[in-house]
Amino acid sequence: MSLFQDILTARGLTGDTVATFLSPDYEKKHDPFLLPDMDKAVERLAQARKVQEKITIYGDYDIDGLTATTLLLDAFGSFGFQDVHAFIPNRFVEGYGLTIDAVNDIAASGTTLIVTVDCGSLSHKEIARANELGVDVVVTDHHNVSDVQSSAVAVVNPKRTDHSYPFIDLAGVGVAFKLVQALQTRLDGLPAGNEKWLLDLVALGTVCDVVTLVDENRTNVYWGLKVLAKTRRPGLRALMAVARVEPNTLNSRSLGFALGPRMNAAGRLETARHSLDMLLAADEETALEKAEQLDALNVSRRSDQDAIFKQALLQAELYKDDPVLVLSGPDWNHGIVGIVAAKIVERYKKPTYVLQEMGDVAKGSARSYGGFSAVAAIRASDDIITKGGGHTLAAGVTLPTNQIDAFRTRVNDFYKSLRLNDQRSLLLPTADVVIDDLSEVSEEFIEQLAQLEPFGSGNPEPILRIESVMVTDQRRMGAENQHLKLEVKDRTGKRMQVLAFSAPEHFFAEPGDQIHILFQPMLNEWQGRRSVEGKLLHVERD
């Protein structure tokens, strides 16, 4: 078998499953009415269109919520809804999800139906308040749910257990897309097949929300990338231009590392409304203006993030013996601390909470891995926090500033109670295959690997392992010599360069050293020349 076939086999792709995986069939989508309350959601929206009620789509300030909001605005327009508006909460004013104040304002504006996207499953009090004010609520969401549902007309969420929908890991924008598919069976205006033009938004939100890229998510992103390459949205065309993303070479990495950070920067620093305005821009001039604004905000975000990260590293040293790091500072923008927490996890290999101290209140984000649930640790601290929630690997928390020390003690005690073993090994990369020499790692092989796109959670880029290669050259790069390029030679004399950015110290092997490496193959193009290189992921020695 070829090396590519070895990788397919290692991932359980054999026989008929290969073709299905490499070329997902959009027409094999799941029935949207298998989702809980979908029939109720469709019925309520059909009533709303009949009398042209005022509808507010209540989104979220991250890309999943923004793309879902835009998707419904677009689709509702096609279906003939004439009085539809969007509300995107401000991270620094309303915070995440539905709030009583926002509900009051929306009701006062004359809205009689709120449709949430990417939020609302746990907003029982806020939905009850909406009902008091004569406003119905339809929830579309993918976050965790409670055992008892709210008084919403419908709670369309695959995380509920009382349904037979076969795939539970849809992103928020994926759930909104299923609502559109369901509405197509009841309302005119968006003929079957035309909803595919919405897949550019579905792909963007799905990739950037880091849900697993399998099943419907893989299908939606696979076809969504093709739609995005020829998107009708001036805003997305402008964003690709300022991010220097070529439409004909789009992949999931383009979304996660080029388009996504620019869109998220608006909500992290100012207001996510800037990103929504970019997505909704109707002309090229406005679209470019909005895209350039997002690009500038992203530059500021990176600068602020670097400053917080350096301060957090210094503080982490004070608590380096703790299994869980809880770090805080008064000038750490809580819109950015989640990214910093992820970088601290990468550096220290420990679950991390990073908080901004805002006078008497502290607010921040957590990142985790393995057997430690960031949100479960928050739940174990309910008596000393103000509020908190999220997922196993990422969560948010608000608490009195004077309780930070107590919170640090509580989450560390919770970690110790779990009696977890060998957690750090879970962060180590795992090879798809072990190769004997470098000769098979060719341009043709790398082009074959592109068939496995889109890569992401549940379908990572393939990793190769080769043992006993000799280091023939070492080059340190970067302002602080933090980046590394090694040239290695296999037993046949074949050479390859492998690179690691912000490399840990044990990666810095010397010429003559024999090492075992794990790497991801890639093509480097420079001044018209192409060469096969590797992204260095791990170094071992005997």
Check pLDDT > 90 for residue 526: no
Average pLDDT of the residues of the chain? 96
- The percentage of the chain sitting over the pLDDT mark of 70, rounded to a whole number, equals 100
What is the number of residues in the chain?
542
Residue 493 burial by CB count (10 A; 0-12/13-18/19+): exposed, middle or buried?
exposed
Contact 143, 122 (CB under 8 A): yes
Q: What's the whole-model pTM score?
A: 0.93
Cα separations (Å) of 108 from 44, 73, 111, 371? 21, 21, 7, 46
Segment 210-238 shows an average pLDDT of 97
Mean local confidence (pLDDT), 60-78: 97
422 pLDDT band, cuts 50/70/90, is confident
> Over the stretch 336-372, which tens digit does the pLDDT of each residue have?
999 999 999 999 999 999 999 999 999 999 999 999 9
The answer on pLDDT for 379 being more than 90 is: yes
CA–CA separation, 363 and 95 (whole Å)? 10
Residue 350 belongs to what H/E stretch? none
Name the pLDDT band for 205 (thresholds 50, 70, 90): very high
Q: According to the model, what pLDDT value does residue 477 have?
A: 93
pLDDT tens per residue across span 424-453: 999 999 999 999 999 999 999 999 999 999
Q: What is the pLDDT of residue 389?
A: 84
Domains by residue range for the chain, with CATH: 35-189 (3.90.1640.30), 319-426 (3.10.310.30), 433-540 (2.40.50.460)
Task: Report the alpha-carbon distance of residue 53 to residue 259 in Å, rounded.
Answer: 35
My answer on whether omega of the bond before 454 falls inside 30° of 0, hence cis, is: yes
Compute the half-sphere exposure of residue 229: CA atoms within 13 Å on the CB side of its CA: 13
- pLDDT tens readout for residues 463-476: 999 999 999 999 99
Whole-number pLDDT of residue 94: 87
Whether the per-residue pLDDT at 278 is higher than 80: the answer is yes
- Round to whole Å and give the CA distance between 32 and 41: 11
Mean predicted confidence (pLDDT) in 524-537:
89
Predicted pLDDT of residue 352? 98
Q: 337-346 — which CB contacts under 8 Å span 24+ positions?
A: 337/308, 337/364, 337/365, 338/364, 338/365, 338/367, 338/394, 338/396, 339/305, 340/305, 340/308, 340/309, 340/312, 341/365, 341/366, 341/367, 342/367, 343/309, 344/309, 344/312, 344/313, 344/316, 345/369
Residue 383 has a pLDDT of 96
End-to-end CA distance of the chain: 30
Q: Quick: pLDDT tens for 124-168.
A: 999 999 999 999 999 999 998 988 999 999 999 999 999 999 999
pLDDT above 90: residue 533: yes
